[in-house]
Amino acid sequence: MSDNVPDKHTWFHDGLTPDLGTLHKVDAILYSGRSAYQSIEVMRLRSFGTCLVLDGKIQSSEADEFVYHEALVHPAMLSHPGPRSVLIAGGGEGATLREVLRHKTVENVTMVDLDDEVVSVCRQYLPSFSASAFDDPRVDLIVGDARKFMEQSDLRFDAIIIDLPDPLEAGPAQLLYTREFYSFVRDRLADGGIAAIQSESSRWYDLDAFVAIVRTLRDVFKFVSPYQAHIPSFSSLWGFTAVSDSLQPELMEAAEIDRRIAARISSPLRSYDGTTHRGMFALPRHIRSSIDAAGAVLTDERPLAVY
């Protein structure tokens, strides 16, 4: 092994920015392959257990995926009075689907993911992530482009959960972070509906993508509610955004969140509750100031690209 380049079979380097990364001791590489869209690896790391790695970046770890997926799904869905129909864009490992199906009001879930190989690999090597959610009769899994689905479908949903991979330059998700795409999301929401969107890093030295996403969403929706949660396997705080033309989850009190969890969620949550909810929406001043500053929105002609 070179003094400067770790052996990938011993150490995994997860690049966070062009100037910063983390090293994880590798116990085993359980799967390594490439789909038509991206590289796919499943690794067992000393630090976070079994992890899904796409294009060289950790997407989910068995140690802390519950923090990310509970944060993505539940603030938006609990702010809705009773979501029955849900659309998930992305989320190939199945954990987002698992969390959506915890809601007793849900009658049907349409999940659209471009890469069926990710779904297949995760069902085989990471079965605890989906917890058999793909077998639930309420689920309609569609292998396809989420943007094309939203543009062409006439279905409308009470809640839409956007759990897409990073918008790498020229990657398959790059045009799923633009004003045009978010307009399609708005069109697919039923009256009184709400969407939750994975919104990239909110770490203090790497805010540009989060700020650009929130600013772009403000150009489309009446109410835009950014929030964050610390995801240990990402080595950072991570941004999310809830958007609606009628609902504002940040206004909900902790006691009301806890009441709705008790009444509407079928099994105990591990990270999210009323107290957590209030903290997630309390963004620090430097993030609020960055979001409120003037700046361009993301468009198909000028999309977002991250490292």
Residue 166's pLDDT is 87
> What are the boundaries of each domain within the chain?
11-61, 65-292
Task: Choose, from 14, 158, 163, 206, the residue flagged as catalytic.
Answer: 163
Residue 9's pLDDT is 67
Taking 70 as the pLDDT cut, the residues of the chain under it are 1-9, 170
- Does 65-292 match 11-61 at the fold level? no
Residue 297's pLDDT is 94
Q: What is the homologous superfamily of the domain 11-61 according to CATH?
A: Spermidine synthase, tetramerisation domain (2.30.140.10)
Q: At what angle do helices 285-292 and 208-218 cross, to 10 degrees?
A: 50
Burial class (CB in 10 A: 0-12, 13-18, 19+), 150: buried
Q: What is the homologous superfamily of the domain 65-292 according to CATH?
A: Vaccinia Virus protein VP39 (3.40.50.150)
Residue 294's pLDDT is 86
* CB neighbourhood size of 185 (10 A): 24
Euclidean distance between CA atoms 139 and 109, whole angstroms: 5
Residue 6's pLDDT is 56
Residue 305's pLDDT is 83
Residue 100's pLDDT is 98
Q: What is the pTM of this model?
A: 0.95
Q: Which residues contact 77 (CB under 8 A, 6 or more apart)?
A: 83, 86, 100, 103, 159, 194, 196
Q: Which pair of structure tokens corresponds to residue 41?
A: 């690896």
For residue 258, indicate whether it is catalytic. Answer: no
